[in-house]
């Protein structure tokens, strides 16, 4: 009996020391970006300024090239955090790149783009997606994410904006983080990726904001991040600029809940975007005809209507001096990501 208790105590001590060592490592290496960080724009040669008419922008959460139709995700009621092989990631990325190329959008803003992550087998996903001018902003950087089992491991992921038009500058603007220590050590640090682009025949800039707001918080994080976003948009419009914010809001656009009722709030419940939250004169641009996101509780099976949950949480906010000509969620049927891309065509006043 004494031998058994001694072995049990030794095992318990090993577990405690291992956990303490992991927590200490994560604490020391925690990603702590500044409030505002200038970003390098990867540029290939001279590019033109934006025209004022018939411009298109495509927004897509690509699910880090690991959340296509065959996948589920542990935070949504599934069991996985990564696909089984690098070949699967490459297949999804090739499909994503082909879809983007087929649309030929002038501006492309992507979310969940990995550059050196264990979950995507260290593949630099920007290599599949870059155009003449590109910029990447980390919102998730951790040397070892210890969940689920087997662990997700190293993650370096974030927002990616790419275009064949001129980008004069780009900044990473930190958003409020709703998680305190120790959860903060291995959690996302959300941000806005702000790119500034000259416009032909105008002294004003197009300020393009790429975003991916909080997903798995209690709701307060989304509210604080949305408020900071709206304040920033109003400030930039007040300077006389054209302003677009687009991406994955993790909040349902007005009317979306009526079209796609949430039958599984116990698995995941997004927040709600309200018209009253917008700065004066600003508008939302989104499409209710096609869902922009699916729940990752299981591999995609549209025939299983009881367990397949849809949302409209991806879209845009535009300033009053922008005319939206068309916005549509592309019906690519979640083939290569748990999100469908959203394409908007617009003109600058």
Q: Region 62-84: what's the mean pLDDT?
A: 97
Q: What is the CATH number of the domain that holds 322?
A: 3.60.10.10
Inter-residue contact 89 to 277 (CB < 8 Å): no
What's the pLDDT score for residue 6? 80
In the chain, what is the greatest distance between 2 CA atoms, to the nearest angstrom?
86
Q: How many CB atoms lie within 10 A of CB 125?
A: 28
What's the pLDDT score for residue 8? 77
User: 25 lies in which domain range?
Assistant: 1-30
Residues 140 and 10 in one domain: no
Mean pLDDT in the chain? 96
Q: Region 70-79: what's the mean pLDDT?
A: 97
Contact partners, residue 278, CB within 8 Å, separation at least 6: 230, 284, 317
Residues 206 and 325 in one domain: yes
pLDDT digits (tens, 9 = 90+) for 164-190: 999 999 999 999 999 999 999 999 999
Backbone angles phi, psi at 302, to 5 degrees: -65, -20
Residues 59 and 19 in one domain: no
The neighbouring-strand residues paired with 209 are 194, 245
H/E segment holding residue 317? strand 314-318
Residues 221 and 158 in one domain: yes
Strand 314-318 with 242-248, pairing: antiparallel
Residues 256 and 287 in one domain: yes
Contact partners, residue 54, CB within 8 Å, separation at least 6: 325, 345, 347
Confidence band, pLDDT 50/70/90 cuts, at residue 340 = very high
H/E segment holding residue 256? helix 256-259
Residues 275 and 204 in one domain: yes
Total residues found in the chain within this entry: 349
What total number of domains does the chain contain? 2
Query: How crowded is the C-beta side of 2, counted as CA atoms within 13 Å?
Result: 0
What's the pLDDT score for residue 5? 77
Residues 17 and 103 in one domain: no
Residues 20 and 103 in one domain: no
- DSSP E strands in 146-229: the ranges are 153-163, 169-174, 191-198, 205-212
Confidence band, pLDDT 50/70/90 cuts, at residue 18 = confident
What's the pLDDT score for residue 11? 80
pLDDT digits (tens, 9 = 90+) for 237-282: 999 999 999 999 999 999 999 999 999 999 999 999 999 999 999 9
pLDDT digits (tens, 9 = 90+) for 92-139: 999 999 999 999 999 999 999 999 999 999 999 999 999 999 999 999
CA distances to 110, 229, 245, 251, 348 from 278, rounded to whole Å, are: 23, 10, 12, 14, 19
Contact partners, residue 228, CB within 8 Å, separation at least 6: 175, 176
Residue bearing tokens 């950087």: 141
Residues 24 and 158 in one domain: no
Strand 283-285 with 293-294, pairing: unpaired
Residues 10 and 138 in one domain: no
Residues 148 and 277 in one domain: yes
CA distance 285 to 282: 10
Residues 124 and 9 in one domain: no
Q: How many CB atoms lie within 10 A of CB 31?
A: 18
Asked if residue 7 has pLDDT above 90, the reply is no
- Burial class for 75, CB neighbours closer than 10 Å (0-12, 13-18, 19+): middle
Confidence band, pLDDT 50/70/90 cuts, at residue 23 = confident
Structure token pair of residue 275: 């018209």
């Amino acid at each position: 009996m004494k031998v058994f208790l001694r072995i049990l105590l030794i095992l318990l001590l090993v577990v405690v020391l291992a956990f303490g060592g992991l927590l200490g490592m994560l604490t020391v290496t925690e990603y702590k970006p500044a409030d505002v960080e200038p970003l390098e724009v990867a540029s290939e040669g001279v590019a033109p300024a934006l025209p004022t008419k018939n411009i298109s922008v495509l927004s897509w959460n690509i699910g880090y090239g690991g959340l296509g139709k065959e996948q589920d995700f542990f935070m949504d009621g599934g069991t996985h955090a990564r696909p089984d092989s690098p070949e699967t990631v490459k297949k999804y990325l090739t499909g994503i790149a082909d879809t983007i190329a087929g649309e030929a959008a002038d501006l492309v803003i992507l979310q969940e783009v990995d550059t050196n992550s264990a979950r995507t087998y260290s593949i630099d996903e920007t290599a599949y997606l870059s155009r003449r001018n590109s910029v990447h902003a980390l919102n998730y950087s951790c040397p070892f994410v210890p969940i689920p089992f087997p662990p997700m491991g190293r993650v370096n992921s974030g927002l990616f904006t790419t275009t064949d038009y001129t980008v004069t500058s780009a900044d990473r603007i930190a958003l409020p983080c709703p998680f305190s220590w120790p959860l903060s050590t291995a959690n996302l640090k959300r941000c806005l990726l702000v790119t500034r682009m000259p416009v032909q025949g105008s002294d004003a800039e197009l300020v393009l904001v790429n975003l991916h707001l909080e997903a798995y918080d209690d709701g307060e994080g989304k509210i604080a991040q949305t408020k900071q976003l709206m304040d920033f948009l109003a400030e930039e419009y007040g300077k006389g600029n054209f302003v677009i914010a687009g991406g994955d809001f993790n909040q349902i656009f007005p009317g979306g809940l009526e079209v796609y009722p949430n039958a599984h709030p116990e698995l995941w419940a997004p927040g709600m975007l309200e018209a009253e939250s917008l700065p004066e004169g600003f508008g939302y641009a989104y499409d209710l005809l096609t869902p922009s996101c699916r729940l990752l509780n299981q591999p995609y099976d549209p025939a299983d209507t009881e367990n397949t949950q849809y949302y409209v949480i991806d879209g845009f906010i535009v300033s009053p001096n922008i005319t939206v000509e068309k916005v549509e969620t592309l019906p690519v049927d979640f083939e290569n990501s748990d999100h469908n891309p959203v394409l908007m065509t617009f003109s600058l006043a």
